[in-house]
Chain A
Amino acid sequence: MTTRPFAKHIFQGRGGCPTSVDEQLDALRVLSPGWFDEASPAFEGGALEWAAKLLRGLVDAFQLPNPYLYPTPEGNIRAEWSTPSWEVSLEMSPTSKRADALATRLDSDEVRGYPVATVEPGAESRLGKFLSEYLH
């Protein structure tokens, strides 16, 4: 029987990617070391659990659209959203526990960044408010 590590916590955001965050993170679990280049690492269970917890909190608490998730060659997990006026991303580093949000306005040169150390008190709330500003 196949077990899905995040099956107990399946959640689906509002709009956005049709595949749940949990299923998308499961897809990262199967990537082998060197999946992109010789330096790209595999994704450890703890790293994925950390990202799942952070995303779950943001998507549920702030009613965000379901993000599209991708691995980065450095071992980070990247969430992306597209809206009519903005491209929004959140790159999460399981090693440093940092999350860097970036909002890019499509019809101008406006770019807004919002880096946070997720271990700081209130960081998740501030990050959720930043993302909400562009995703609602």
Chain B
Amino acid sequence: MISSEEPLILTDSDELLFRQVHPAWVRDGRPSSQAFRPTAKDNSRLSVARGALTTAQAAYEHHTTRLGFQSAGTWAVAVGECRGLSLPVEADPITEASGQPPDPAHAVIQFLGLSKAQVEAKGAKLARFASARGRLYPAPAQ
């Protein structure tokens, strides 16, 4: 029997994972690879929002309006792209009990046990996937 505490690893390769990018990390529409790897304080886990449970617009509004952070918009990578880089994606819903605004769509891309160079390299590859897809919200100006 699977315990309810067992982490839920996402397996639908097509599911999009929405990522908010700080305005200083977008230059001429190109997001920095820094936006697609955890910072030193992130414990090797990169926060994303599950495309199966939210939208690019709702993820942006949660990040900016409810959490009060800055964002230049929503970019996305797919679960399959993460798995192709040996980066497991785990559902990590935030409940009211945490004291933070609840976010059932919250998930994390795990960068565990990697060297600094490996983290950077995988982040650069995720950034390339996200750049190819383009900003999903707000839609880029035509």
Interface residues of A (CB under 8 A from B): 17-19, 24, 28, 31, 35-37, 68-73, 78, 80, 82, 87, 89, 102, 104, 106, 109, 111, 113
Contacts and interface: CB of A to CB of B under 8 A. Distances in A.
B27 A78 contact: no
17 contacts: A17-B27, A18-B28, A68-B32, A69-B27, A70-B24, A80-B30, A80-B124, A82-B30, A87-B121, A87-B128, A89-B33, A89-B124, A102-B117, A102-B120, A104-B120, A104-B121, A111-B118
Interface string B58-97: 0000000000000000000000000000000000000000
SS of B interface (majority):
helix
Nearest first, the 9 A-B pairs at minimum CB distance are: A87-B124, A104-B121, A70-B32, A111-B121, A68-B27, A104-B124, A68-B30, A113-B117, A111-B117
Chain B contact patch, size range? 20 to 34
Contacts of A109: 121
Contacts of B124: 80, 87, 89, 102, 104
